[in-house]
Amino acid sequence: MEMNKKQRVLFSADDISKKVKELGQIISADYEGKELVVVSLLRGSFIFASDLVREINVLTQIEFMTTASYGHGEETSGQVNIVTDIKDDITGKDVLVVDDIMDTGLTMEKILEHLKQKNPNSIKSCVMLDKPERRKTHITPDYVGFTIPDVFIVGYGLNYGDYYRNIPYIFTFDE
């Protein structure tokens, strides 16, 4: 693993925590008086989802799903497979799917399609980062932290070669 490439910070830990608080307030207001089921997509969203749910003040359950997209490099192949499904029944529940980033949108599209078949009352999506330039579907996330151009980023749950998920800020490698 290349460790000595130069890092360029896009969002500091402080930028991130402010944004997550803001999202938490908006989501709490939107779901006031309701119960929420947050579905966190592993592994990328584990940090964002854990920060976000602590900023949400409506009654909330947490579920996890794992997806895999084969033919991996730095991007999805287009073939998204569900490796681990949620455990509990979401019939009639208000569901919020949380991911680290929306890139092509194929992962979120697949997950929403899958979860809709379980008859929730409502289903929305929330991502920390959105790269709309890369979209290969018509999907738009309902809640977005930061919109970014087409750059490969790491940190705050996002990986490069399975490293850097633990870095508390979001950065890119300058060539």
Does the footprint of ligand IMP cover residue 125 (CB under 6 A)? no
- How many residues bind Mg ion, per CB under 5 A? 1
Does the footprint of ligand IMP cover residue 44 (CB under 6 A)? yes
* Catalytic residue list contains 103: yes
Binding residue for ligand IMP, selected from 90, 99, 115, 123, defined by CB under 6 A: 99
Distance between CA 34 and CA 171 in Å, rounded? 36
- How many residues bind ligand IMP, per CB under 6 A? 15
Contacted by 106, from ligand IMP, Mg ion, none: CB < 5 to 8 Å by type: ligand IMP
Residue 164 gets the label, from left (phi > 0), alpha (psi -120 to 50) or beta, of: left
Distance between CA 65 and CA 112 in Å, rounded? 12
- Which of 99, 100, 103, 130 is catalytic? The answer is 103
Binding residue for ligand IMP, selected from 16, 23, 95, 102, defined by CB under 6 A: 102
Place of tokens 């989501």: 27
Q: How far is the CB of 26 from ligand IMP (least distance, A)?
A: 22
Nearer to ligand IMP, 44 or 120 (CB): 44
Binding residue for ligand IMP, selected from 153, 156, 167, 171, defined by CB under 6 A: 153
112 phi and psi, to 5 degrees?
-65, -45
Query: For residue 44, what are its two tokens?
Result: 């990328």
Residue 129 burial (10 A CB sphere; 0-12, 13-18, 19+): buried
